[in-house]
Structure 1
Amino acid sequence: MPGRAKRTGDLPTMVGAEAARPLRPKDPRELGGYTLLGRLGEGGMGSVYLARDPKDTLVAVKVIRADLAGEPEFRQRFRSEVERAKQVPPFCTAEVLDADPDHESPYLVVEYVDGPSLSSVVAQRGPLTPANLHGLAIGVATALTAIHGAGVIHRDLKPSNVLLAPGTPKVIDFGIARAVEGQPGNTRTDQLIGTVAYMAPERLDTKARKALTPAADVFAWGAVVAFAGTGRTTFAADSMPAVAVRIMTSDPDLDGLSGPLRELVLAALSKDPADRPTARDLLDRLLTSGPDRALSSGELPRQAAAAAEAGSRFAVVDADPTSMQDPAPRPGGPRWAKPVAVGLGVSTVLLGGLTVALLTGALPLPAGFAADPSASPSPSASASPSPSPSPSPSASPSPSASPSASPSPSVAATPAPYLTDALAEERRWTSRADDPNGATCLFEDKSYVATTLKDWSYLCPGPKDTLTDFRFEVDAALLTKGSCAGVSYRMTAYAGYELRVCQQKITVLRRAQGDPQDGRILRELPLDKELTLGRYQRIGVQGQGAQFRFFLAGKELREIALTDATFAEGRIVIGVDTVGHTGEAPWQVRFRRAAIWASAV
């Protein structure tokens, strides 16, 4: 619950440089070109720092303790962590950006995941709703399928190691992972590394000396899902030894779970690892059962495409790529009349971490969007984000989390985006290079780059869906001076609205006559701080009826919210704009990670 002290090794729930704990006098200020800003946490192997890379992007840096760096066993464990982390597909965990195991102070640099941990969400809001719980179960099973497919056993899956990042849960901290096929590992026989409350019985029975298999992670999956659905630690007891005894001898406490998910959790918590389903089995069964919030007609091809675009070499999609383009599903469409059966048991593995968002309605709201005002949550109801990665785990069990004695107002589940596109390759947005003036829309370096050589707008071809109420998000990086990112919405031909994000100001325009190079300015907002060229900013637009809201880098721009009823529906289009003959050609904007919600909740 809010304000509860955290044990050593848990992630603090905080956001950004301002919230990180101050550096101590003995902490480094710079490491391998990274500027350390504050401490995020620490554990048995070392400390985790919030840092900025040379491009001014926030990252998380895990540094091994100085007194352990000289010990071959611990240095080898850290080296193993780096190798394991590199093998795991990045869509389901914090992406490895850099590492130097041979540095005097060995370190690992990973993506900074700005999202709350499952443990903090449950502690602050209580158990998840059935639909969100099913979505979480799918997301974590998806991650485990990819992790095990990479030949890795996580060994410390627990609620604080599941971050609910926008659009996709991330399973983090491979600090004690090891290869499925390999040597017995770097753990001495007298060591027990991990969090006891989520350990499989075979890990606790030292006399049996059973080989560790991926089934141990499946047991942890069952304990994590049970915690998320009940708000309690499944095998809670007064002491760590008592917890271990309960895991090995007692039935799990699953009061609060029901239906097929309860049966699947119970199977995952089997005492004998041979009786547990595999991660792949979990995923297949979850995709064909659960609340009536599963796939609407036509969405399975989109889900398959989303998994494929994640770039994992482990994704196997049994679908014709040409079927993944159109028509777009609309909210409220027909449900599957029978369980999804597109080769899930044979050759379809949906390994996109964003499975949870596409199938059931994501857990937290996407970055940049506030909750639906009708939900009226209090500030205390929102979980604080928990950065990544977590430090090396403590051996003590996680405390049993329970809802606050004074429950916060419930927060309505957020519908999933009906369309997501990483913009890493041609899919819903397509290449364009037919402009006589040399303007282009091309895929480069796993991103979508819009370029114009003339001082005017250029639009890139994308989805043709006509929307009324909507939400749209995309990452945009201005590459050259004078370049502006354009997000047009409710567009018909060239008529509609546009949000124009430039280095020094943001403008909202209306193009009533359909001229792409002209428009009436409805709102204009000078920026307090000039946007950095080359740095991604999350841009958001939300429309509900005649009401429009705009977002930048996770914050609502209330100064330019507006009411205008000129256009009731239309397409969403992205592109490049210029501003006042500033700079020189080419003017360029780089886009990635687009998502569309066909509602304004």
Structure 2
Amino acid sequence: HGNGAGAAAQAHALAPQPAPWAPAVAPQGGAKTAKVLYVNGAAYTQLELLGRGGSSKVYSVLNASGRHLALKRVNCENRKQLEGFQNEVTLLQQLRHHERVIQVIDAEVDWERGRISIVMEAGEADLNTYLRATPDLGLEQIQRLWRQMLEAVQVIHAERIVHADLKPMNFLLVHGRLKVIDFGIAKRISCDTTNISRDSSVGTLSYMAPEAVRQGSDGLKLGRASDIWSLGIILYQMVYGKSPMAHMETLQRWMALNDPHFEIEFPAEHRLMGHAASTRHQLLDILTRCLQRDPRKRPTLPELLAHPFLRSSAEVERGAVQAVISELMGNILEVVGVAPLPGEAGAMAPWRALADEVWERVLARGAGDSHESAAPFRFPEGLVPFEEFLERRNRSEAAAAQAAAQAAAQALCFEDDTVEGEALPPGSTAPMRQVLGAALSAAAGAPAPAAPKGGRAVKFVVWDEDTYDASD
């Protein structure tokens, strides 16, 4: 729509920026004088053009005190367009002091010139830019971004506003937290209904809900659920690296949204495929519910915020941690092949020190000890029992291998006492068995039996099982 790229860039201070406290410096000598933009008589020094779209442009500016801001200027072609942008100004002013919504510093509507100017706080990057720069999003990052998006949209839904154009470009990172921006086509829901009405489709097609393009005889009716669909598309993009209809042409997307039999696919391969089945199931549950064609079946924002997928903290008793550590170590011993001794199976006793160390480590992390700054932790006491279990297994395996090798050596025999017509030396089979047993023991990793006494040299003859072709 006409407000698209410009509105999406309305607070995007993406290029290297001067420090917020740096005052505007007047050019010296013959340098070009910096352009100054005025809003309600206040001067703003223009630094650079951040973006444009349709009839709007967004500039990076400095105010008189040197604060870095973003200024959106719209030149309207007619009164109806001007009224539309005035609606954006009105909504943003009504949403002042909501920290999850981009904050308006000042705004001016010039009816004579058909121009609107909006001064807003600046940000670091929009979500679209962030996703392109971060191709390997992890679970923690996805959860954090998803929660912040839900909380931001919940603010405007609580004010009975349908945004109608949610997409990554319309979420801005300000001091590391997402804020919703661009209210160019947003609309407030009347008190006597739950929907907004439009005469025609408007928005960004890749993120529009089916009901936003399916026009009936009485026009389009959109509710809060249409924003839920858009949020689901954004989550899909974060997980799969692209939107579900990115491979389609514009007309194909339009037809798909109007096709009641079209269903979005959810491939098994995505950024969280290495996580537990429970986590993958929670993710799929959110995506399938948000992307229901029937808006009545989509979840509400409170339901999404309470979903287990976002459960990143919980109050846990220390005893529960100890029990889980005991179960975990029991499973590990089973996997590595260590059989517990009588009374050891499921016992907590060997793992008390490890449970204590894990508990203290979790508390340290919870107190703000970040992954980047924390030194590697070795659990010095807690893993001693595990090392002892492994040593016991190794001794057991070595003894078993030695016994098997000796048994194999004792079982060696010959069909007769001659090879190629030559009689074997009297008493030679015993040392042969002993030396072969030593070789078998060495191959099995077991200690070799004692060498035959007397230093007798023995010539070994090896032959093929079928042909008995003899060779040294």
TM-score category, normalised to shorter length: 0.5 to 0.7
Aligned 8 A contact 2:98 2:155 in 1: no
- What is the CA–CA distance in structure 1 between the aligned matches of 2:360 and 2:59, rounded to whole Å? 43
Cα distance change, pair 259–543 in 1 and its aligned pair in 2 (3 A) = closer
Matches within 5 A, 1:558-597: none
Aligned AA (1:176):
I
Pairing of 1:187-586 with structure 2 (within 5 A): 189-190=199-200, 192-207=201-216, 209-249=219-259, 250-255=262-267, 256=270, 258-285=280-307, 289-290=308-309, 293-295=312-314, 332-333=362-363
Q: 1:61 aligns with which of 67, 71, 94?
A: 71
Q: Per-residue deviation at 1:224?
A: 0.5
**Aligned-pair CA distance for 1:128:** 2.0
Aligned AA (1:142)? E
Q: Find the residue that maps to 1:212 and give its secondary structure.
A: strand
Is 1:78–1:101's contact at 8 Å kept on the other side of the alignment? no
Q: 2:100 aligned with 1:92, yes or no?
A: yes
Identity of aligned residues (%): 24
Cα distance between partner residues in 1 of 2:128 and 2:366: 22
Shift of 1:210: 4.0
SS at match of 1:175: coil
Give CA deviations for 1:263-319 in whole Å, capped at 9, x if unaligned.
11211111111111112221122xxx1277434669xxxxxxxxxxxxxxxxxxxxx
- Which amino acid in the other structure matches residue 253 of structure 1? E
Q: Deviation of residue 17 (structure 1)? A: 4.4
Matched residue, 1:15: 15
- Residues 1:101 and 1:127: Cα distance change in structure 2 (over 3 Å): farther
Structure 1 residues 93, 254: closer, same or farther in 2, change over 3 A?
farther
Change (3 A) 1:17 1:416: farther
| Equivalent AA in structure 2 for residue 283 of structure 1 | L
- Determine the structure 2 residue equivalent to 1:31: 38
| Cα 1:171/1:416, change in 2 over 3 Å | farther
What SS does the aligned partner of 2:173 have? strand
Runs of 5+ consecutive residues of structure 1 not aligned to the other structure: 1-6, 20-24, 299-328, 335-414, 419-468, 472-541, 546-601
Aligned pair partner of 2:181 in 168, 172, 177: 172
Task: Give the equivalent residue in structure 2 for 1:43.
Answer: 53
After superposition, the Cα gap between the structure-2 partners of 1:182 and 1:211, relative to the gap in structure 1 and judged at 3 Å, is farther
Q: Which residue identity is paired with 1:213?
A: G
Q: Which letter maps to 2:181?
A: I
Structure 2 Cα separation of the partners of residues 291 and 179 of structure 1: 29
Where do 1:47-126 residues align within 5 Å? 47-65=57-75, 67-68=76-77, 71-88=78-95, 90-102=98-110, 104=113, 105-114=115-124, 116-126=125-135
Q: Return the letter of the residue paired with 2:88.
A: E
Which deviates more, 140-149 or 9-18?
A: 9-18
Partner of 2:143: 134
Work out which structure has the larger RCO, using CA pairs closer than 8 Å and 6 or more positions apart in sequence. Answer: 1
Q: Alpha-carbon deviations, 1:389-447, whole Å to 9, x = none?
A: xxxxxxxxxxxxxxxxxxxxxxxxxx8985xxxxxxxxxxxxxxxxxxxxxxxxxxxxx
SS, match of residue 264 in structure 2: coil
**CA apart distance, 1:85:** 1.3
Residue 502 of structure 1 corresponds to none
Deviation at 1:130, TM superposition (A): 1.8
Letter in 1 for 2:228: V
CA–CA distance in structure 2, aligned partners of residues 80 and 260 of structure 1: 38
For the residues of structure 2 that align with 1:244 and 1:162, how far apart are their CA atoms? Answer: 24
**Secondary structure of 1:35's aligned partner:** strand
C-alpha change, 1:28 and 1:154, in structure 2 (3 Å) is farther
Corresponding position of 2:439: none
Distance (whole Å) between structure 1 residues aligned to residue 58 and residue 244 of structure 2: 29
1:477 corresponds to which residue?
none
Tell whether the 8 Å contact from 2:236 to 2:287 is kept in structure 1 after alignment. yes
Q: Is the partner of 2:110 in helix, strand or coil?
A: coil
Q: State the distance in 1 between where 2:241 and 2:370 align.
A: 33
Query: Does the C-alpha gap of structure 1 residues 470 and 136 become closer, same or farther in structure 2, counting only changes over 3 Å?
Result: closer
**Matched residues in 2 for 1:124 and 1:228: separation?**
12
> 1:187/1:233 Cα in 2 relative to 1: closer, same or farther (>3 Å)?
same
Go from structure 1 to structure 2 and tell me whether the alpha carbon gap of 1:127 and 1:274 turns closer, same or farther (over 3 Å shift): farther
Change in Cα spacing, 1:54 to 1:169, as seen in structure 2 (3 Å) is same
| Shift in Å, 1:15 | 3.0
**Larger helix proportion of the pair:** 2
- Counterpart Cα distance in 2 of 1:87 and 1:214: 18
Q: Distance in 2 between matches of 1:170 and 1:72?
A: 30
Q: Could you tell me how far apart the structure 2 residues matched to 1:188 and 1:294 are? A: 42
**Structure 2: how far apart are the matches of 1:97 and 1:109?**
5
Query: Deviations 1:308-357 (Å, cap 9, x if unpaired)?
Result: xxxxxxxxxxxxxxxxxxxxx997139xxxxxxxxxxxxxxxxxxxxxxx
Q: State the shift of 1:175 in Å.
A: 1.6
**Aligned equivalents of 1:170 and 1:48: distance in 2?**
17
Aligned-partner Cα distance in 1 for 2:168–2:366? 22
Q: The residue matched to 2:99 in structure 1 has which SS? A: helix
Q: Any conservation in 1 of the 2:196–2:223 contact (CA below 8 Å)?
A: no
User: Take 2:46 and 2:37, find their aligned partners in 1: how far apart are those partners?
Assistant: 6
Do the aligned partners of residues 80 and 416 (structure 1) sit closer, same or farther apart at CA in structure 2, a change above 3 Å counting? farther
Structural RMSD (CA): 3.6
Query: In 2, Cα distance between the equivalents of 1:40 and 1:125?
Result: 21
Q: Give SS of 1:92's match.
A: coil
Would the alpha carbon gap of residues 296 and 124 (structure 1) be closer, same or farther in structure 2, given more than 3 Å must change?
farther
Name the CA shift for 1:16/1:251 in 2 (closer, same or farther; >3 Å): same
AA in 2 matched with 1:333: L
For residues 66 and 366 of structure 2, the distance between their equivalents in structure 1, rounded to whole angstroms, comes to 31
For structure 2, list consecutive stretches of 5 or more residues without a partner in the other structure: 20-31, 273-279, 318-358, 376-472
Shift of 1:158: 0.4
In structure 2, the CA distance between the partners of 1:41 and 1:224, relative to structure 1 (3 Å rule), is same
Provide the TM-score with structure 2 as the length reference. 0.55
- Count of matched residue positions in the alignment of Structure 1 and Structure 2: 295
Partner AA of 1:91 in structure 2: E
Contact 2:50 2:58 survives alignment (8 Å): yes
CA distance in 2, matches of 1:75, 1:417: 51
